[in-house]
Amino acid sequence: MLRTLFGLTMTHMRQSQLFTKTRREAPQGEVSKNAQLLIRAGFVHKEMAGVYSYLPLGLRVLNKIIGVIREEMNAIGGQELLLTTLQDPEVWKKSGRWSDEVNDTWFKTHLHSGEQFHSGSELGLANTHEEPLTALMRNHISSYKDLPKYAYQFQTKFRNELRAKSGIMRSREFIMKDLYSFSRDEEGFREFYERAAEAYLKVFKRAGLGEHTYRTFASGGSFSKFSDEFQTVCGAGEDTIYINEGRRLAINKEVYNDQTLSELGLRKEDLREERAIEVGNIFPLGTKYSAALGLTYKNEAGEEVPVVMGSYGIGPGRLLGTVVEVLSDEKGMVWPEEVAPFSIHLVQLGEDEDVKKEAEEIYRSLVEARVEVLFDDRTMRAGEKFADSDLIGIPLRVVVSQKTLAEGKCECVERASGTTHHRSLSELMSHLTT
Ligand code: ATP
Ligand code: MG
């Protein structure tokens, strides 16, 4: 259960110091369950429709999700970089994607002209990053010896989404993990593509969505018949998929027809229709962008040929929202251990000196053992504390009260199952560290 956090994230916190407050009601007009719960629990703040800020607890979860994805991308050879969100239209004009007719989700702006704001040349706010990265890679790839290479980032994307009714699952500004593969040929590309698909399944499993998530055939682009989506079954999803449980795969409705079914060896009667959320997406790009932007390499025969590319996206925010949609119950959120804001919610009930002393003692032991703990040391009624604790959804609640003191054991309640154990401090510590 003990995990080392990357970066400088704190392992522990007193709830009396946390600036965010929980609230009973979600803001008016917020229709999605994920945003309602996240806002009520103080994880996110809604700036405007489709635009959300992350507050301390929400950011902890987001960072954990990012950490999981980063580990899995590094494991398949990904190298992390950070491209800019301000983008030069020139590279987009070369691929033909600058036009609003081709891409209707652009946010565009203008440079200062000297005389007037915003009347200078046009700029794009990152919609995606194929074009700038492909152009950049020309400086680094020139020979077959330079390939393959895999580059990825966690970077803000801006998309002028027409509808924004799915809370943080479809926002107009969001962080995306986007990886791009650069291979010599189709064979090298396919080999990596399959490894990436495996890595994606690991990410979703670690985020607690493994059994709900299916690799799904979706439409490909000009270079491939299919792309693959990772779809998590959920009534609030915007997509419709057809699942073959035995083969643990699905087909997106957009490619669901007799011809595709027979090509994939699937029969209608073995498929189950479900609503689902696209949590990730991997896509063969062929030589579309390398040819347009001149990313070529010299092969072993000395010929100049375009690099074969693929793109691999996951929205950490959408994944976070999906965890909320799928795993919450009527009392609030339920975080799987790997992505939970904290591992333990230590709840002190009452203000008696001996209870306070015992709670402080347990807090100190957990902090020393580097267990991630949120300590509810606030002066509040038990009912309110439990309601907050259920809403926030930390995997294990440890309660210290007059009653538990009398027993010499604290009450440990698993958020997901409600299972309760009574453990002494030393029993708790050995349970946590095994
Ligand atoms: P969708 O089909 O849902 O519009 P997309 O196919 O345009 O998404 P990509 O461009 O492939 O998505 O983005 C990769 C991943 O980024 C998606 O699988 C999803 O997890 C996430 N994502 C895409 N759009 C959004 C958004 N508006 N808000 C949050 N996450 C998003
Ligand atoms: Mg899609």
| Residue ranges of domains in the chain | 31-85+126-327, 342-433
Domains 31-85+126-327 and 342-433 share a fold: no
Q: Give the residue whose CA is nearest to atom 8 of ligand 1.
A: 278
Residue 110's beta-bridge partner residues? 122
**Is the Cβ–Cβ distance between 271 and 251 less than 8 Å?**
yes
User: E-assigned strands of 92-225?
Assistant: 107-110, 122-125, 149-158, 173-183, 213-219
The pair of structure tokens assigned to 5 is 């956090």
**Is the Cβ–Cβ distance between 166 and 319 less than 8 Å?**
no
Between CA 333 and CA 336 the distance in angstroms is 10
Q: Give me the chain's average pLDDT, please.
A: 95
Class at the top of the CATH hierarchy for domain 342-433: alpha beta
Q: Residue 8's pLDDT is what?
A: 55
Task: Give the number of the atom of ligand 1 that is nearest the alpha carbon of residue 311.
Answer: 11
Percent of the chain surpassing pLDDT 70: 98
Q: Residue 222's pLDDT is what?
A: 84
Task: Give the number of the atom of ligand 1 that is nearest the alpha carbon of residue 279.
Answer: 20
Residue 412's beta-bridge partner residues? 398, 421
Confidence of residue 4 (pLDDT cuts 50, 70, 90): very low
Q: Residue 2's pLDDT is what?
A: 43
- At the topology level of CATH, where does 31-85+126-327 sit? BirA Bifunctional Protein; domain 2 (3.30.930)
Pocket lining: 413 vs ligand 1, CB cutoff 6 Å: no
Q: How far is the CA of 171 from the centre of ligand 1 (A)?
A: 9
Q: How far is the CA of 103 from the centre of ligand 2 (A)?
A: 14
Q: Give the residue whose CA is nearest to atom 16 of ligand 1.
A: 315
Confidence of residue 164 (pLDDT cuts 50, 70, 90): confident
Q: Give the residue whose CA is nearest to atom 3 of ligand 1.
A: 278
Pocket lining: 279 vs ligand 1, CB cutoff 6 Å: yes
SS3 content of the chain, % helix, strand, coil (to 5): 35, 30, 35
Percent of the chain surpassing pLDDT 90: 93
Mean pLDDT of 266-272: 97
User: E-assigned strands of 245-335?
Assistant: 249-252, 272-286, 296-298, 304-306, 308-314
Pocket lining: 171 vs ligand 1, CB cutoff 6 Å: yes
Pocket lining: 360 vs ligand 1, CB cutoff 6 Å: no
Q: How far is the CA of 93 from the centre of ligand 2 (A)?
A: 23
